[in-house]
Chains A and B, each alone.
Chain A
Amino acid sequence: MIRKKVCLLGAFGVGKTSLVRRFVSGIFSDKYLSTMGVKIDRKTVDADGREVGLMIWDIHGEEAFRKIPMSYLRGASGLMMVVDGTRPETLDVAAGIVRRVDDELGLAAPRVWLANKRDLADDWALPADAWAKLAGDAPRFETSALSGEHVDEAFLALARAMLA
C-alpha cells in the first residue's frame, strides 16, 4: 500500500481538526480545543481502485505569534488549505502560509482548497473573487465538518491529485 503524508494548513479555528475528525471518525463536536503542535491521524482511501494510506498531519493554526514551522511540511505529498467561509480574513492568513511554503520550502505538492463551515449559511462571507484567485487551478470545496458536506470529496480529490 502506498502511504502519503498530507498536511492541513490554515488560520486557527477554521475547522482543520474538525474536518479530520469528520473524515476519519465521522463525528463532529462544537467544542473548540485549539490544536497544540501537530496531531496525526491515518485513514485509507480507495482512489480509483488504488489504496492510499493517508497520514494526515493536523497542524496548529497559524497565528501572528505562533507561525506554522515549515519543518512540519517536509516530505508532505499533499496540502489541504483550509479557510473559514465566515471569516474572510482567514483567506489572507492562508495566502501568507502558501507564500511561505513556496518561498521557504519550494514544496510543489498538490493542494486542495477548502472553505469550511458552509452550514453557517447566514454568516457565510466568502469573497468569491479572492477565493477563486487564491486557489488558482487547484480544486476548491465548500465544506462543512458539521454536516459532512463535501468533506470526503475533498480528501479524495487530494488523494487522486497525489497519485496523478
Chain B
Amino acid sequence: MPGQAEGAGGVGDREGRDAARSSDIETLRELIVGPTARRVEQIERRLEQPARVEDTARVLPDIIRESLREDADAAEEAARPLVEGAIRRSARKSPEALSDALFPVLGPAIRKSITHAIASMMQSLNQTLEHSFSARGLKWRFDAWRTGRPFAEVVLLNTLVYRVEQAFLIHRESGLLLRHVAMDESLGEDADVVSGMLTAVRDFARDAFDAEGSDEIESLRMGELELWVARGPNVLLALACRGKAPEALFARMQETVERIERRFGEELAAFEGDTAAFAGADDWLRALLESQRAGDEGGSPAKAVAAVAAVALALAAWMGYGWYWRGQWKDYVARVSAMPGVVVARASSGAPFELWGLRDPLADDPAGLLGRFGLDGKDVKLHWRPWQSLEPAFALRRARRLLQPPAGVEVTMRDGVLRLSGAARPDWIRRARMLAPALAGVRAVDDSALKAVDVRAELLARIRKRLTPPKGVELALAGPEGRYVLTARGEARSAWKAAAEAAVKAFPEVASYDDSRLIAVDEPARLLRLARKALRPPAGARLRVSRDLVLHVSGVASPAWKRKARERAAAVPYLAGYDDAGLHPPRHIPGDAEILAAAREMLKPPATVHLGVSQGVLTAQGFATAGWIRDARTRWRDIPGAKGWRDEALRDITPAWRALSRRVGARLVRYDIDSGQPKAGGERMLREVAEAVKQARRMRPDAVVRAVGLSQSRAERQKPRALAHARDACHRLEGLGVPAAACQPGFAPQSGSRRVSGVRFALLASGQAP
C-alpha cells in the first residue's frame, strides 16, 4: 500500500533530523516552553489591557503554530488542562448540545478512523484465513457431508458472505416509510407496515428499558434476516440483511443517514406525509444493497488521524477522571448481582451510571448499598422491573406475606414444599389451601399438620374469660358462624348482669345476646317476694325492700312475730339489711260499728252511696262520681281498724252524668219580655230538659236542676223579671214530671254582646255547688 510506505518513510526521516537539531531545540525550548509561566503571566497582563488584545490576537496563532511544530509534546502539555476542562464542563452541562454540535464533524471523523482500523484488521484476518484455509476447507467439507447441506451453502454460512436485501428509510417520529428499495421489487408489498412496526418496537424498547443513546447501531434478528438500524435526528435507516454483515456496512449506513439528513433537512422538518420529496435518496439507498465491498474513501488520512487524535485525547481525560468511580461502580454492580432476589441485566458506566435489572419487591433495596461504595443516588440511575424470585427464601417470604398466618400457625419451606402447621380458623385454612399452591416458587403444599380450630368453642372460651361468670351462670353459644347467639341463664347479681351485657358488645361475632333467663337474684321485687314467703307477715305488718336491698318492716304486729321475723329475714339471701323500726305492737281494736261511723265521718259518701262493714271490711254500693270512688279507695286505710275496702257494687255515674248535664246545659228557653211567656220552641226545650232531669234523678235521687233566668243587664230592676222567667220554667217542668223540690230558680246577669232574655239550666247533685 502506498500510504503505508509513505508513513514509514516519514518516521525514519524525522529521527535523523532530531539528532542534528537538538541544540536548536534547546534554544527554542528556552525561548518558548522553558519560561512558560513568565510568558503566560505576560500574556495575561496583555489580555487585561484591551489595547493590546489586537496585536496579541495577531501573534497568538503564530505562536501556537510554531510551538506545535517545534515541540508538540510540550505545547500539548501546556494546553491540555484548558481543553480538558472546557470539554468536561460542556459535556457535563449539556451533553446533548455538545454531541449535536460535534455530530457533523466528529461523526465522519470517527467513522473514518474506525473504517481505517477495521480495514487493517480485515487484512490481517484475511491472511490468517488464507493460511488456515486448507484445514478449514476440509472441516467445512466434513460439515457439509455430515449435515447433508450443499458445500456452497456451508461456505456461505461460514465465510463473511452476506446480502443486503432491502433498505428502508423511515421518518423517525411517525414511523412512516419515506423510501424503500429492495433487490427483489416484489418485497415492497409490506414495507410500510414493516417500517411502522420497527418504529413501534424501538419505541417499546426505549420505554421498557430506557435504552436509547447507548448504541449507534441497533440490530434485530428475525430468523435468517437481520435488521440493522442506523439513526439520525430525523430518520431511521434500516437494512434487512441475510448472513453476517461486516462492520463496514454499518459505517456506510451511518454515512448515508448523515448525507440524507443534510440533503433533506428542510423536507424532513416540514414532513406532512408526502414521501415523493425523498425520491432523491433512492440511489443512495440502492448503493447499500449492492455489495459489501469497501466504498469510496475520500479525504486525506492525515487529517483523519489528527481528528482521531484530538478525540482520543478528550476521551483519555474523561476516562482518567472517571476511572476511580467506575471501579466503585463495578464493585457495586457485582455486590448487587450477588443480592438474593435481584438480577442485574445490564449496567452502563456512562454518566450517570445506570443499571437495569429485575428486582423482587420483597428483596432489599439495592439503592441502600450505594453509600457503602461512596456512590450517590444523584450519580446513579437504577431501573428495576418487578419480578418474582423463585428462590425458596423468597417464595417463603411471599407466602407469609400473602397468607398472613395467624398466631399459632407456622409456615416453613423445604425443597419447594410449603408446609403449614399449627391451628387456625377454618376460613383461614380454606383461603390458604386455595392461595398457597398458586404461589410462585411453591411446588407443593403440605398442610397435613394444619388443624382447624373450633371457632365457636374458641370464641366461647374468650367470652368466658372476659365475662367471668359466677357459679350458677351458664353461658352457651349457638347459631351459625357470623350470627352467633349468646345465652346466659341461671342466677347472678344484677351488677354482673349489667356488666355482662356491656362486655358482650366487645365481641362483634356475637350477633345477639339473650339473658332473659338470667335471674338477677338481688332485684328488690324478687327479694320482697322471698321475704314475704319467709316472714309470713300478719295483716297489720307491711314489708318493703328499698333500692339498697334493705328490708323494711312496718305496721302493727305482735312482739313475738317481730322477733321471729328478724331471724327469718337473716335467711333471705342477698338482703343488705333489716329495719323494723316502723313496726308497732297492736293497741285498741275498733269494732264494726266504730269503723262504720269513722268511715262515714272520713269519707263523706254522697246520698246515693250505701256503706256497710263486716269484720272490719268496708263495702260500698250505689252511685258515686269517679273522683269520690278514687279518693275512697285510698283514704279507707286511714280509718282505724278497717281491714279492707270493697266497692264492686259501686257504680261510677260520671260519664252518664256528664252527658246528661251537658244536654241540660245546652238548652236555652227564650222568653218574650212583653208577654212573660216562652217564645216559640220553648215548650220543646222544656220537655227535653225535663226528660234529662228525670233520668238523672234515677241515677242520683239527689239530682236537682237549676233554672237560671238571664237578665238583660246588671241593673237591679232587671232581676225580678229574670227570676220570674226562671220560676215560670220550674213551674212548667213540674208540669212535665220534675218534682218542684228538684228545680231551683235563680237569676244571673249576662255578659258578652249578644244578650237575650230567657232561661238556662244546670244539672246539679246535692252537695255540689251551683
Q: How large is the interface on B (under 10, 10 to 19, 20 to 34, 35 or more residues)?
A: 20 to 34
Q: Which chain B residues lie closer than 8 Å to A72 at the CB level?
A: 200, 203
Q: Taking CB as reference atom, which chain B residue is nearest A70? A: B207
Q: Taking CB as reference atom, which chain A residue is nearest B274? A: A2
Q: Quick check: is B193 within 8 A (CB to CB) of the other chain? A: yes
Q: Which chain B residues lie closer than 8 Å to A37 at the CB level?
A: 200, 204
Selected interface stretch from A38-46, A120-128, A135-143 = A38-46
A52 to B192, CA, bound (A): 14
Q: Quick check: is A31 within 8 A (CB to CB) of the other chain? A: no
Q: Contact between A3 and B192 (Cβ–Cβ < 8 Å)?
A: yes
Q: Contact between A5 and B203 (Cβ–Cβ < 8 Å)?
A: no
Q: Which chain B residues lie closer than 8 Å to A55 at the CB level?
A: 174-176, 192-193, 196
Q: Which chain A residues lie closer than 8 Å to B197 at the CB level?
A: 38, 40
Which of A3, A52, A57, A74 meets B177, CB within 8 Å? A3
* A interface residues, tally (CB under 8 Å): 21
Interface residues of A in 3-41 (CB under 8 A from B): 3-5, 37-38, 40-41
> Could you tell me the distance in whole angstroms from the C-beta of A9 to the nearest C-beta in chain B?
14
Q: Contact between A5 and B175 (Cβ–Cβ < 8 Å)?
A: yes
> Could you tell me the distance in whole angstroms from the C-beta of B262 to the nearest C-beta in chain A?
21
Interface residues of B in 158-203 (CB under 8 A from A): 171-177, 192-193, 196-197, 200, 203
When each residue 49-83 of chain A gets 1 if its CB lies under 8 Å from chain B and 0 otherwise, what string results? 00011010100000000000101101111000000
Q: Which chain B residues lie closer than 8 Å to A41 at the CB level?
A: 193
A161 to B192, CA, bound (A): 22
Q: Contact between B273 and A38 (Cβ–Cβ < 8 Å)?
A: no
> Could you tell me the distance in whole angstroms from the C-beta of A101 to the nearest C-beta in chain B?
15
Q: Contact between B273 and A42 (Cβ–Cβ < 8 Å)?
A: no
> Could you tell me the distance in whole angstroms from the C-beta of B236 to the nearest C-beta in chain A?
12
When each residue 65-107 of chain A gets 1 if its CB lies under 8 Å from chain B and 0 otherwise, what string results? 0000101101111000000000000000000000000000000
A40 to B197, CA, bound (A): 6
A69 to B207, CA, bound (A): 7
Count A/B pairs, Cβ under 8 Å.
64
A55 to B200, CA, bound (A): 12
Q: Quick check: is B615 within 8 A (CB to CB) of the other chain? A: no
Q: Taking CB as reference atom, which chain A residue is nearest B177? A: A3
Q: Contact between B203 and A3 (Cβ–Cβ < 8 Å)?
A: no
Q: Taking CB as reference atom, which chain B residue is nearest A71? A: B203
Tell whether A69 pairs with B173 under 8 Å between CB atoms, given A1-B275, A55-B192: no
> Could you tell me the distance in whole angstroms from the C-beta of A108 to the nearest C-beta in chain B?
14
Q: Contact between A69 and B174 (Cβ–Cβ < 8 Å)?
A: no
Interface residues of B in 312-338 (CB under 8 A from A): none
Interface residues of A in 105-122 (CB under 8 A from B): none
Q: Contact between B173 and A74 (Cβ–Cβ < 8 Å)?
A: yes
When each residue 197-227 of chain B gets 1 if its CB lies under 8 Å from chain A and 0 otherwise, what string results? 1001001101100000000000000000000
Q: Which chain A residues lie closer than 8 Å to B192 at the CB level?
A: 3, 42, 53, 55
A4 to B276, CA, bound (A): 14
> Could you tell me the distance in whole angstroms from the C-beta of A109 to the nearest C-beta in chain B?
11
Q: Which chain B residues lie closer than 8 Å to A2 at the CB level?
A: 272-274
Interface residues of B in 250-292 (CB under 8 A from A): 272-276
Which of B176, B193, B207 meets A75, CB within 8 Å? B176
Most interface-central of B173, B174, B207 (chain A CB within 10 A): B174
Q: Which chain B residues lie closer than 8 Å to A3 at the CB level?
A: 176-177, 192, 273-275
Q: Which chain A residues lie closer than 8 Å to B204 at the CB level?
A: 37-38, 69
> Could you tell me the distance in whole angstroms from the C-beta of A25 to the nearest C-beta in chain B?
13
Q: Contact between A5 and B200 (Cβ–Cβ < 8 Å)?
A: no
Q: Which chain A residues lie closer than 8 Å to B203 at the CB level?
A: 69, 71-72, 74
Tell whether A4 pairs with B273 under 8 Å between CB atoms, given A74-B174, A75-B173, A75-B176: yes
- Known contacts A53-B192, A53-B273, A74-B174, then 17 further A-B pairs from the complex at CB < 8 Å, ordered by chain A residue: A1-B275, A1-B276, A3-B176, A3-B273, A38-B200, A40-B175, A40-B200, A41-B193, A42-B192, A55-B174, A71-B203, A72-B203, A74-B173, A75-B173, A75-B176, A76-B174, A77-B272
B residues at A contact (CB < 8 Å): 171-177, 192-193, 196-197, 200, 203-204, 206-207, 272-276
Show 25 A/B contacts (Cβ-Cβ < 8 Å), sorted by A: A1-B276, A2-B274, A3-B275, A5-B174, A5-B175, A5-B176, A38-B196, A38-B197, A38-B200, A38-B204, A40-B175, A40-B197, A40-B200, A41-B193, A55-B193, A57-B196, A69-B204, A71-B207, A74-B173, A74-B203, A75-B174, A75-B175, A75-B176, A76-B174, A77-B272
